[in-house]
Structure 1
Amino acid sequence: MSRTRKSNRNKKPTTVEIVLDSSDTDTVTDSDSDSDSDSSDLHSPISELFRHNVSKHRSCWRHVFSSSIVQKKRITLGDIKEVKKSSMCLLECPPRFTRRERSKRFGKKEEVKELMRPHKVAERAVSRKREKLDSGAFMRYFENLWNSFSEDKRTSFAYLDCLWFSLYLQQNIHKELKRDIKTKVLKWIKNKCIFSMKYVIVPIVCWSHWNLLILCHFGESLQSETQRPCMLLLDSLQGADPGRYEKYIRKFVLDIFMEEGRPEKKDLIYRIPLLVPEVPQQRDDVECGNFVLYYINLFMEGAPENFSTEGYPYFMKKDWFSPKGLDYFCQKLYSSAT
């Protein structure tokens, strides 16, 4: 019997509704995603996703779908394929090869064992000090660090969730979804009242690398002669050109000013100094998250009462701290989180 195949020419794109399994995490409702009452990033709608394994990494296709879960969006299979191509996740399980392929690719049994090791086992095999922090782990350690400072010290500081900048920056997604995400991120930032703070800590994770952006005195006049707003970008891998972030940071800051309804003009906002001090550099390719946490700790300890470009770079120099100091800090921080 001959069979005829139906034409798919007029078939509409298949859509997939992403729904969280109730056994994995709590249900995220519309009221959760639109809530303005949360004063802590650690309880914000996007941080709610840390309890689900799809957001256990940096800005990648998993984060795109995680944000879609919150937004209750429908995504076509074509969108899924395109986003996966452009925003790969570095925490994907290693590929499986046949015995013949493994023998061709690797000559040592140890290498084959390492490749075939299940992802979770491999993750536990890496010491915490050498582990490359994902967004969930980073925020857990940051929460302990934040709470270690006194109430008086914290009154001069505010911080943004480490995912907000990367969510704002998402490019390879549908325009409507991108606009919705930007709107929500800017709304969450507005609720932080950053213009009433001396310093705003903004951890950035983009292109699988951690940086620290610090907004200084954003409540001051941009035309002040004594105390003008400025920005600090602390990068532990300056050989990778931290200047590549500048256009994204300036657009991010401009939108924050616009969302707040500030009177400053666009040209003045774009002239806010972005300073990149020569700080201690990481020793390998996995320490960037640890460096950002230590930058935050030392900056909060020694931040001047009034930061000025005349006194720059203050303590932020190449000899700011030693490798031993960083290792001791990480050991202490990790032990407090267990």
Structure 2
Amino acid sequence: MLARRTRISKQQAEEIESFKLTSPCFLQTIPCRERSKKRFKRNNAVSKLKKELDSVSFNCYMENMWKSFSEDKKMSFTYLDSLWFTMYTEASTGAKVLEWIKRKHIFSKKYVLVPIVRWCHWSLLIFCHFGESLLSENNSPCMLLLDSLEMANPKRLEPDIRKFVWDIYESEGRPEHKHMISQIPLLVPKVPQQRNGVECGSYVLYFINLFMQDAPENFRMEGYPYFVGFSRCWHVY
């Protein structure tokens, strides 16, 4: 059975539209640095509709949004390229992706933003406190999966996400046992939902912007969501 679509309020819709119009990442004149043709040969396959946000545009917008945040804010965050998750799932490029991730030093960051584009649809995975002990009572690692199209069943990504996380831990020589890693919670908040079939990439950028603005110093699962920005419109199920 398809999940019921979560309606967004007038205020939330206005915020999203304002973000689209005013954020520097949506200006069409933004110069993008040239990217490897080999690395992005799948770009044409990412979007099934011309109006959807393709991976080259997404990465360009993401880079410019990232620059808009202060250095202090960025100290707690890092993000992965939007094609890395998809490339990881392919046998020919999976090992390369794990090597690239090592350079991001994700275990030294409080939050890791992982844009995902699969089956012509964008969603956002967030690693929280991966550098903390899996037995920690205060800052225990967890994951958030944000999807603006709930009826697409975001949980279908979980097997690939679980394998991805295990391989990251293993490739970096982390001491955590596989069973403990498999128990890292994957939370799926109810978030504002897109109103047509082509807005998912824009919503992922909106979620990233909102999360970076309002994410707490230390994320706690207890009582979540509880901080500004998410508390007014987000729920976990």
TM-score by length of 1: 0.56
* Aligned twin of 1:316: 230
- The aligned counterpart of 2:192 is 280
For the residues of structure 1 that align with 2:126 and 2:157, how far apart are their CA atoms?
Answer: 13
Q: 1:205 to 1:58 in 2, by over 3 A?
A: farther
Q: Which amino acid aligns with 1:186?
A: L
**Deviations 1:106-132, CA, capped at 9 Å, x for gaps:** xxxxxxxxxxxxxxxxx5xxxxxxx31
- Map of 2:159 onto structure 1: 247
Alignment match of 2:77 (pick from 136, 139, 157): 157
Residue pair 1:58, 1:206 contacting (<8 A) in 2 also: no
Name the structure 2 match of 1:299.
211
- Residue 232 of structure 1 aligns to a residue whose secondary structure is strand
1:289 and 2:209 correspond: no
Unaligned runs of 5+ in 2: 1-31
1:134 and 2:54 equivalent? yes
Specify the structure having the higher radius of gyration (Cα): 1
Q: How does 1:194-233 map to 2 (within 5 A)?
A: 194-233=106-145
Distance 2:198 2:101 in 1: 29
Q: Distance in 2 between matches of 1:192 and 1:211?
A: 20
Matched, 1:56 2:43: yes
Q: How much has 1:43 moved relative to structure 2?
A: 7.9
CA distance in 2: counterparts of 1:194 and 1:200, whole angstroms: 7
Work out the CA distance in 1 between the residues paired with 2:186 and 2:55: 25
Is 1:49–1:55's contact at 8 Å kept on the other side of the alignment? no
**1:167 has 2:68 as partner:** no
8 Å CA contact 1:58, 1:135 repeated in 2:
no
The 3-state SS of whatever aligns with 1:223 is coil
Query: Identity of paired residues, percent?
Result: 59
Using the TM superposition, give the Cα deviation of residue 224 of structure 1 relative to its aligned residue in structure 2, in angstroms.
Answer: 1.1
Which residue of structure 2 aligns with residue 184 of structure 1?
96
| Structure 1: gaps (5+ residues) | 1-41, 60-88, 92-122, 124-130, 171-177, 321-338
- Change in Cα spacing, 1:248 to 1:43, as seen in structure 2 (3 Å) is farther
Give the CA deviation at 1:55. 3.8
Rate the CA distance shift 1:318–1:205 in 2: closer, same or farther, 3 A. farther
- The DSSP-based 3-state class of the residue aligned with 1:48 is coil
What whole-Å deviation, never above 9, does each CA across 1:127-153 have from its counterpart, x for those lacking one? Answer: xxxx31000010111111110101111
RCO comparison, higher one (Cα < 8 Å, 6+): 2
Change (3 A) 1:136 1:307: same
Return the alpha-carbon distance in structure 2 between the equivalents of residues 213 and 238 of structure 1: 14
Equivalence for 1:90: 48
